[in-house]
Chain A
Amino acid sequence: MAAQTKLERSEQINGWLFVMPALVLLGLFMVYPIVWSLWMSFQTGRGMNFSFGGFANIVRLTQDPIFLRALGNTFTFLIIQVPIMLVLALLFATALNDTRLWGRGFFRTAIFLPCITSLVAYSILFKSMFANDGVINDFLLASGLIADPIPWLGDPFWAKVVVISAITWRWTGYNMIFYLAAMQNIDRSIYEAARIDGVPAWARFWYITVPMLKPVILFTSVISTIGTLQLFDEVNVLTLGGPSDSTLTLSLYIYNLTFKFMPNFGYASTVSYVIVVLVGILSFLQFLVARDRR
C-alpha cells in the first residue's frame, strides 16, 4: 500500500484518541487483574507469600467439601430459579401484550417496580418479612396454608426457598420488559392472519410468539445464568451463606476465603476461575445456538 497521507494519518490518530482512555483503564483494571488472577490461581501460601503450587489448588478444589457445597448450591439456584422466573416473565408479558387488557399500564409498572430496588435493600426487606414470627408466616398461618410457622432462615431447605423467592421477586419484571419489547416488535398482522386461518390462541402463543422470541429468551437465560453464577449480595444479607453453608454461593465463598479468614489469595483465585470457566462455557454455548439460527 502507498504511504499514508496526512489526512489518513490524522483520521487514524483521532480514532485512537477517542478509544484510548477507555482502553488504558480497561487494560489496567480488567486485563491486568484477570491475568494476574490466573497466575495467582497456581500459587499457594497465605497472604502475600506466594509459592508456585502447580495444580495443588485444583486438586484441593476437588477435595474441598465447602467448595463442592457452594458449587452445588449455585447450580441448585440456577436450575430451579432461572426457569421459574423466565416462565413467569413470559406469562406476564403475554398477558400484558393484549391491548384490550384493562389496567395494563398499572400491572406493567407494578411488576416492573422491584427492579428499581438495590439488591441490599430488597434483601433487608425479605429478611424482615421472613422472620420466624414475621408477616409471611402470619399470613400463611391465617390463611390456613400451614399449621406451624416455617423456620424460613433457620432451615437449610427453607433458606434456599427464601433466596430463590427473593431473586425471582427482584428479576421477573426485568425479564418481562425484554419479552414485552420483543413482542411489540412482532408484526400484528401475523396474528391477524393466524386468526383468519382459525389458529386458536394457545397455538398462536406456542407456534408464533415463542419461536419469534427465541433470541430474547436465549439472551435473558444467559444473563440470568451469569447473574446467578455471581450471586453475592442477597445471600450475604439474607443468610450469610447459612445455615450450615446451605446457601453459600461461589462468590460468597471467594469473599470469605479472601476477606473473612486468613487470606488465601491463590486458592480464592482458583475458585474465581471456576466461575470464569463456567461463564465462558455458557457464553460459548450461546454463541453456538446463535450461530445455528443464521
Chain B
Amino acid sequence: MSNLKLRGIRKAFGNLEVIKGVDLDINSSEFVVFVGPSGCGKSTLLRMIAGLEPITSGELDIGGERMNDVDPSKRGIAMVFQTYALYPHMTVRENMGFALRFAGKPKDEIEKQVKEASRILELDPLLDRLPKQLSGGQRQRVAIGRAIVRHPQVFLFDEPLSNLDAELRVHMRIEIARLHKELKATMIYVTHDQVEAMTLADKIVVLREGEIAQVGAPLQLYDNPDNLFVAGFIGSPKMNFMAAEVVDRDNGKLVVALANHGGTKVALPIADSSANKGDKVTLGVRPEHFADAGKGDSDITVGIDVAEHLGQTSYLYARAPGGEQLIIEREESRDHGALDSLTVAISARHAFLFDAAGKRLR
C-alpha cells in the first residue's frame, strides 16, 4: 500500500488556473476524502493523480516514485467513476477481468482474481450478466470489483455514490468503509457531500477554488475549523453566522457585540492580538450548540418563521430582530411553532469568531 506526496501541484487550461498549488501528504492505508463545492477542482485533482489529466506543474509521488509522466495504468491506481463507466458490451466477468487481460495475465489467473473480487462484493450470481441488466447499486459494486481485481496500491473514487438514491447511498457508504478495513489500501474519495466525507474519512481535504482550505480529521474540522469557509461547509445544517463588532478586550477575553441582535455582547476566550476594537467580525454558532435561555453566556431572542419537527430533533428557522436568518436545533421540542418568539443562549466555548477575511480568531 502506497503513500502519496503532492508538491506544488498546478493545473491550467490555457490561462485559466483551476488547481492553484496543492501540497498534500497521504499516508499509506489512509482514507482521504476530497470535499468541496462543485467547481472547486476536487475531481480535476483526482484525475491528475490518476493520470487522466496532465499535471501543468508540481510533483506527484506515489509510493516514493515520481509519477507525473507515467501512464495511468502504471501508477498502481484503480478508479471508480460516478457513471460507473462499465463497458456496456461485456459481461460483469469480462468487465472485471478486462485490465488483467491487457496486462497479459493468464486466463486461470484472471478467473481466480475475478472470483476473489466477486466473493468480497457478493457478485457471484451476476457474473454473466451485462451491465444494462443490473440495478444502479449492482453496477456500482461491479465498478468497485473492477478496481479490486487489479490489486491497486491506491483506490480513487470520483463521486461514486452520486447517481444512487438516498437509501442505497447509505448502504454503499457502509460497504466502502468495510472494504477499506478489509483491503487496507490507500483510498482517495471525491464527494461534494459532507456527510459522506465525515463518515468515511480518516482525513478530509476541504478544497475551495483550486486551493486547500483545510486538512484534518473529520471531528477536527468540525470542532476546530481554520476559516469561515470550512466552518460553513462542514456540519449539517450549516453553521449560523452573525455579524458582529469587537467592542472590548478584557483579561484575555474578546468582547463582541452582535449587530443584528440589538448589540448583545458575547465574551469569548480569544487571545489573538490581531483583533482590534471596532473590527467587523463574524460570530459562528452551530444550530446544535444553542443552549436554553439562561444556561449559556449571552441570551438572544429571535422570531420563528418555520418549524420543522422531525421527531427527536426539530429545526427552527428563525429571524433575528436585525433580519439575519438563523437555524436552531432543539431536541424533543414540542412547544415551538411558527410565529413564536424564542430566547436561546450562546455559549462562548461553542462559538467561533472569524475576521473580515474569513480567518479564524483563536
Interface residues of B in 55-84 (CB under 8 A from A): 55-57, 68-69
A25 to B150, CA, bound (A): 42
Count how many chain A residues have C-beta atoms less than 8 Å from C-beta atoms of the other chain.
7
* Interface presence of B37 (CB below 8 A): no
For residue B237, give the distance in angstroms from its CB to the closest CB of chain A: 39
A residues near B55, Cβ cutoff 8 Å: 5, 7
Residues of B contacting A: mostly: loop
Chain B's closest residue to A4 (CB) is B54
A6 located at the interface, meaning its Cβ lies under 8 Å from any Cβ of chain B in the complex: yes
Nearest CB on B from A4, distance (A): 8
Query: Which residue of B is nearest A6, CB measured?
Result: B69
| Nearest CB of B to A260, in Å | 53
Instruction: Return the chain A residue nearest B69 by Cβ.
Output: A6
Q: Could you say which residues of chain B place their CB within 8 Å of the CB of A11? A: 54
Chain A contacts for B68, CB-based, 8 A = 5-7
Kindly list chain A residues whose C-beta atoms are within 8 Å of the C-beta of B56: 2, 5
* Min C-beta distance of A10 to chain B, whole Å: 9
From the candidates B14, B54, B57, name the one contacting A8 in the complex (CB within 8 A).
B54
Are B57 and A7 within 8 A (Cβ)?
Answer: no
Contact assessment for A2 and B51 in the assembled complex, using a CB-CB cutoff below 8 Å: no
Q: How many A-B residue pairs have CB under 8 A?
A: 19
* Interface members, chain A 1-30 (any B CB < 8 Å): 1-2, 5-8, 11
Convert A62-95 into 0s and 1s, putting 1 for each residue whose CB lies closer than 8 angstroms to a CB of B: 0000000000000000000000000000000000
CA distance A1 to B69 in the complex (A): 18
Produce 1/0 per residue, B287-300, CB < 8 A to A.
00000000000000
Number of interface residues of B (CB under 8 A): 9
Cβ contacts under 8 Å, B14 to chain A: 1
CB atoms of A2 and B57 under 8 A apart:
yes
**Assembled-state Cα–Cα distance A2/B58 (Å):** 12
Given the complex of chains A and B, what is the CA–CA distance between A1 and B57 in angstroms? 11
Residues of B within 8 A of A7 (CB): 51, 54-55, 68-69
Interface-centre pick from A2, A7, A11 (highest chain B CB count, 10 A): A7
Please measure, in the bound complex, the distance between the C-alpha atom of A8 and the C-alpha atom of B57, giving whole angstroms: 12
**What's the nearest-Cβ distance from chain A to residue B62, in Å?**
15
The minimal Cβ–Cβ distance linking B34 to chain A, given in whole angstroms, is 21
Q: Which residue of A lies closest to B55 (CB)?
A: A5
Most A C-beta atoms less than 10 A away, residue of B51, B54, B57: B54
Chain B hits for A5, CB < 8 A: 54-56, 68-69
A2 to B55, CA, bound (A): 11
Give the complex CA separation of A5 and B48 in angstroms: 12
Which B residues lie within 8 Å of A1 (CB)?
A: 12, 14
Complex: chain A residue closest to B52, CB-CB: A7
Residues of B within 8 A of A8 (CB): 54
CA distance A5 to B12 in the complex (A): 12
Query: Shortest Cβ distance from A9 into chain B, in angstroms?
Result: 9
> Which chain A residues border B69 with CB–CB below 8 Å?
5-7
Q: In this complex, what residue of A is CB-closest to B53? A: A7
A14 to chain B, nearest CB (A): 12
Bound CA span A11–B47, Å: 15
Cα(A84)–Cα(B88), bound, Å: 46
CB nearest to A9 among chain B residues: B54
* A268 → B minimal CB distance (Å): 48
Q: Within the assembled complex, what's the spacing in Å between the Cα atoms of A5 and B58? A: 11
| Contact partners of B57 in chain A: CB under 8 A | 2
Nearest chain A CB to B59 CB, angstrom units: 12
Q: Which chain A residues border B54 with CB–CB below 8 Å?
A: 5, 7-8, 11
Closest chain A residue to B51, Cβ basis: A7
Tell me the bound Cα distance from A6 to B70 in angstroms.
8
19 pairs, A vs B, C-beta closer than 8 Å: A1-B12, A1-B14, A2-B12, A2-B56, A2-B57, A5-B54, A5-B55, A5-B56, A5-B68, A5-B69, A6-B68, A6-B69, A7-B51, A7-B54, A7-B55, A7-B68, A7-B69, A8-B54, A11-B54
Listed from nearest, the 3 A-B pairs whose CB atoms lie closest are A6-B69, A7-B54, A8-B54
User: What 16 new A-B contacts, CB under 8 Å, besides A2-B12, A5-B69, A7-B54?
Assistant: A1-B12, A1-B14, A2-B56, A2-B57, A5-B54, A5-B55, A5-B56, A5-B68, A6-B68, A6-B69, A7-B51, A7-B55, A7-B68, A7-B69, A8-B54, A11-B54
